[in-house]
Structure 1
Amino acid sequence: MSTIDVCPKPADTCRSEGHRRTGHRIVGLMHSGKPFRPGDWAERLAGVIALFVKERRPGSSVAATWLAVPYVDGSVKCLDVCAELAEICPEAFDFVMRFAEDNELRIQPGR
């Protein structure tokens, strides 16, 4: 990735089988500071990740709930992406990180 902007809050850790894993936080603010549209972008990306994971590991779509978690921080939409997604479904991880970069969204690396 070419540019990484840091948000004020650290990226949450992911939980998988009792383990804590780091991830990335994609923030719904563009590098210019404008909110990213459409307003449901994080939910849409989480849905796409769930489809990637389900195709890669049939019967594992429930796992997608902890691999990509949309939420609102203040009034800003965000998506936490578990680093384990890169192991489980590299195509989904690459897709979501490219999406963020292509749309000039702010990315905070995990701890």
Structure 2
Amino acid sequence: MLSTPAKEVYILGVTLTGRQFRPSDWSERLAGVMSQFRPGGPQPGSHLGYSPWCIPTSVNGVRCVIVHPDLIEYDRMAWDFCMNFAKDNDLQVSKGAPEPKTN
């Protein structure tokens, strides 16, 4: 999918066919799984907060997860997990913040 990005990658909660991805809390679930991957490694209680390398958010009203490229250097398999999650679920992926849609 994306090999070595120069900036953050946005996994959008919209499929390649334009459908909203479900469940609605998918971004928090993915970021929760990735919470242990952080600078300095997992610490006691680190499962209680999101990793700075995998952050759930919303952009232009669409749920998404921002994956920081530093994750590649820390743990390539963790990066691949995020990118394969997007691929396996046919989710749109954007290098950098996605452009707002105009009607």
The TM-score bracket by the shorter chain reads 0.7 to 0.9
Q: Which runs of 5+ in 1 are unaligned?
A: 3-20
Aligned equivalent of 1:93, options 70, 79, 87: 79
Q: Which runs of 5+ in 2 are unaligned?
A: 98-103
Bigger fraction of residues in strand: 1
Identical counterparts, % of pairs: 36
Question: What is the TM-score normalised by the length of structure 1?
Answer: 0.70
Separation of aligned partners in 2, 1:83 and 1:29: 21
* Matching residue of 2:41: 57
* Matching residue of 1:31: 16
- After superposition, the CA RMSD in angstroms is 2.7
Note the C-alpha offset of 1:38.
Answer: 0.5
Separation of aligned partners in 2, 1:64 and 1:89: 16
Report SS of the residue matched to 1:22: coil
Question: What is the TM-score normalised by the length of structure 2?
Answer: 0.75
Paired residues in the alignment total 91
Bigger fraction of residues in helix: 1
> What is the one-letter code of the residue matched to 1:104?
D
Report SS of the residue matched to 1:66: coil
